[in-house]
């Protein structure tokens, strides 16, 4: 009759694996935002726009620590979706867009463009039914945009808000609903930017100086 035995190192490994699994079970709820973003149906502005995404933007994530033991912590990673949405939007809004090789500045050798747009997520907040007792998932974002020359000299600086929500009715999990709310917020950000970019006073001055005439847009 054979008898199997577990050695002490094996037992230690087993305990570590169990502990790892237990800790993984207690980890934060993670959402990597994913979505498809349509190109804007808009007359492109006749200018060459440079784009520079700071690392805080292209790798943007939001962490919310659980307040109580029954709550779950949340990590919402929006960076990849932000880049996908803004690339699609800006490519449709301007006759030419170019990604900068480095952050615009006096010492930086960069491609020649009319202006460089630098977006940043100033703030992100979310609400799920567990927080609000309302059957709606919401994402609210505030962006800060800087428009600078390729040498880094400021042209304009302004903020813009975006909001997305989704009801619980047609989705299964909290993660899927938060993802869809984030996609809606990104679409809203794109719509807000596309319809209001030429109305930003500093941008208007810049376009006037360059003789760039935008078509009538917005409702």
Partner 1 sequence: MRAVPRLLRLATVLLAGLSTAACVTSTVDEMVFNEPVEGIGDSTVVILGRRHAADYETEPDFIQCVGDHISSRDRSITVIGELEFVNSLYPWFEPRTAPLHPQNIDRLLLQEPVAERMAELKTEYMIWIDGKTERSDSMGSMTCGIGPGGAGCFGFGTWSDDSDYEAVIWDFTDRAEVGRVNTTASGQSYMPAVVVPIPIIAPVQGTACDGIGDQLLEFLSSEY
Summarize as ranges the residues that interact with partner 1 (CB under 8 A). 38-43, 134, 136, 165-167, 169-170, 187-188, 190-192, 194-195, 215-219
What's the N-to-C CA distance of the chain in angstroms?
Answer: 85
- The CB-of-136 to partner 1 minimum distance in angstroms stands at 8
Cβ of residue 39: shortest distance to partner 1, in angstroms? 7
* CB closer to partner 1, 151 vs 218: 218
Rounded to 10 degrees, the C-alpha dihedral 55/91/118/139 comes to -70
Q: Give the shortest CB-20-to-partner 1 separation in angstroms.
A: 30
Instruction: Tell me whether residue 16 or residue 134 sits nearer to partner 1 (CB atom).
Output: 134
Q: How far is the CB of 146 from partner 1 (least distance, A)?
A: 22
Strands in 94-99's sheet, in edge-to-edge order, are 94-99, 45-51, 115-127, 136-148, 154-167
Beta-bridged to residue 75, according to DSSP, are 30, 63
d(CA 40, CA 34): 19
Shortest distance (Å) from residue 71 CB to partner 1: 24
Residue with Cβ nearer partner 1 (149 or 195): 195
Q: How many CA atoms lie less than 13 Å away from 212 in the CB half-sphere? A: 19
CB distance 189 to 160 below 8 Å: yes
Closer of 76 and 184 to partner 1 (Cβ): 184
Q: Considering the complex, state which of residue 80 and residue 191 has its C-beta at the smaller distance from partner 1.
A: 191
32 vs 160, which CB is nearer to partner 1?
A: 160
Please state the closest distance from residue 207 (CB atom) to partner 1, in A. Answer: 17
- The first and second tokens of residue 118, run together, are 């630098």
Report the SS3 class of residue 159: strand
CB 165 within 8 A of CB 184: yes
């Amino acid at each position: 009759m054979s008898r199997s035995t577990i050695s002490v190192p094996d037992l230690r490994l087993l305990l570590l694996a169990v502990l790892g699994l237990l800790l993984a079970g207690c980890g934060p709820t993670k959402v990597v935002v994913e979505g498809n973003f349509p190109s804007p149906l808009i007359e492109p502005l006749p200018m060459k726009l440079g784009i520079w995404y700071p690392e805080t933007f292209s790798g943007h994530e939001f962490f919310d620590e659980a307040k109580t033991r029954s709550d779950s912590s949340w990590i919402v990673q929006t960076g990849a979706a932000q880049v996908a949405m803004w690339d699609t939007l800006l490519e449709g809004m301007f006759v030419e867009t170019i990604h900068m090789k480095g952050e615009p500045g006096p010492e930086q050798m960069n491609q020649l463009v009319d202006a460089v747009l630098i977006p940043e997520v100033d703030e992100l907040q979310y609400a799920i039914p567990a927080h609000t007792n309302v059957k709606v998932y919401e994402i609210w974002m505030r962006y800060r945009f800087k428009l600078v020359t390729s040498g880094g000299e400021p042209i304009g600086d302004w903020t813009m808000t975006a909001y997305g929500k989704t009801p619980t009715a047609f989705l299964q999990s909290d993660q899927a609903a938060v993802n869809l709310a984030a996609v809606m917020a990104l679409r809203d950000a794109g719509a807000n930017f596309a319809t209001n970019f030429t109305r930003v006073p500093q941008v208007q001055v810049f376009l006037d100086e360059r003789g760039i005439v935008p078509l009538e847009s917005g409702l």
